[in-house]
Amino acid sequence: MRPTQLSAYRLFHDGIIELAQVEANGIRVDTDRLEDTISKAERNISRIEKHLKSSDVWSVWTERYGSRANLDSSAQLADILYKVLEYHPSGSTRLGNRGKTDAGTLAKIDDPFVRDYLAYKKLAKFYGTYLKGIKRELCCDYIHPVFNLHFVKTYRSSSDNPNFQNFPVRDPVYGKLIRKLFIPRDGHQLVEIDYSSIEVRIAACYTHDERLIRYINDPTSDMHRDMAMKLYMLDAEEVSKTIRYCAKNMYVFPEFYGSTYVRCSQNLWTAIDDLNLEMKESGIKLRKHLREKGIHKLGKCSFKEPPRRGTFEYHVQKVETAFWKDFSGYGSWKDQWEKDYKRDGGFDLLTGFRVDGVYTRNQILNTPIQGVAFHILLWSLIRLNRWLRANNMKTKIVGQIHDSILADVHEDEHDAYLRMAKRIMTEESRKFYPWIVVPLEVEAEGSGISWHDKQVISI
């Protein structure tokens, strides 16, 4: 990482110091709930494992491998599914010399054993990575995650011991179970403030795309909602928060960062079942809704073959064509940015860092946006944490997740904290970085019960 401006050096120097304070603050854990959740997870894992091992597929498995049969062996699973049972899910199933066993590929196999196996692996990860990871790092009912500034190629932060930034959020079951574990200190409320569409706003600062800037400047518009409407063929009132999330994170940002309809259509299609998507007002399942619109299949999603009419892939391709016609300024910037990188071997961030080295096309396009978006948050966190300390506040910042700051806010300091956070994040940051050509906005949620129970609060 190479700062080319003094302000960039100071950002990371001061950031490390303030993030060390955030680590020292720690976040409180409901240890009784944690132990109960661990016990329930262990029982469920045992139950599902027993069920799997009573199936006909496991009989075939043990007949082939004998005492070496291992339910957690991806190589053995691939051998049984693709060579013995001869399953052929749509899309590529090869990885080296064996079949792919990632969740996305296995989800395409319509078999009760495979569905139960996916549930087993998901629960096992929840138990081993998240629950046991939290318990391992407990110190007097608190965990103290580490936040790093020197590992991620896109110039964002990272976290470990445990990875605070990687807890499941959108999963309706496991997201709730994890976030229920984190509770405020006595007399406090957990308050999370996040930048609204910060990466879209930073993209506008780079690209100066007129359509993008119009979206940002019009508070009644919502680009992610509009794309959700087009992708899933919905009216505005039928777009739920989760459906909007899918459009944002499985289409808009991937397209901005160099992906195509081939990948996006797969992720959007898989999300329908994985997230149990349904229309907001009517409650109709999205899968049924698409069938009524004439779309029954995903399509082959191959870079070697054009999509077939009537498939979801074909529909998303049409949406993509219109998308880049609308955002032609962004498209031109992407092409020029990539050409300049290939010529110069690197690029400069708006925040004063020089990025050199070997980057993929996606990294070339997302690093300047994701990195700078995080730098705005880091700059704000530094000022906010210094303000808390200078005024001997009881409120403590306890975490950050790329575009949001989580704080344990004392009840007597609630209003003052919100006012100062908004001022720093939306006004002072723009004065410090005059190249921010669009307004910045923040949203806040809070709860005196747990991180999961937070509700929207005025800021």
Asked if pLDDT for residue 1 goes beyond 90, the answer is no
Nearest to 129 by CA among 96, 97, 168, 95: 168
Mean pLDDT of the chain: 94
Asked if pLDDT for residue 180 goes beyond 70, the answer is yes
Asked if pLDDT for residue 97 goes beyond 50, the answer is no
- Percent of the chain at pLDDT above 90? 88
Segment 274-283 long-range contacts (CB within 8 Å, at least 24 positions apart): 274/107, 275/170, 275/171, 275/172, 275/242, 275/246, 276/172, 277/232, 277/240, 277/242, 277/243, 277/246, 278/240, 279/234, 279/238, 279/240, 280/237, 280/238, 280/239, 280/240, 280/243, 281/237, 281/238, 282/238
pLDDT of residue 377: 98
Beta strand 455-457 pairing with 442-447: antiparallel
Q: Which domains, and CATH codes, for the chain?
A: 2-29+139-198+368-457 (3.30.70.370), 35-136 (1.20.1060.10), 210-326 (no CATH)
Name, in order, each residue with C-beta under 8 angstroms of 416's C-beta and a sequence gap of 6 or more. none
Nearest to 34 by CA among 121, 172, 142: 142
pLDDT of residue 201: 96
Tokens, residue 310: 């009537």
User: For the chain, how many residues are written?
Assistant: 459
Nearest to 313 by CA among 324, 325, 302: 302
Give the C-alpha distances (Å, rounded to integers) separating 8 from 12, 349, 365, 426. 7, 10, 20, 19
pLDDT of residue 92: 43
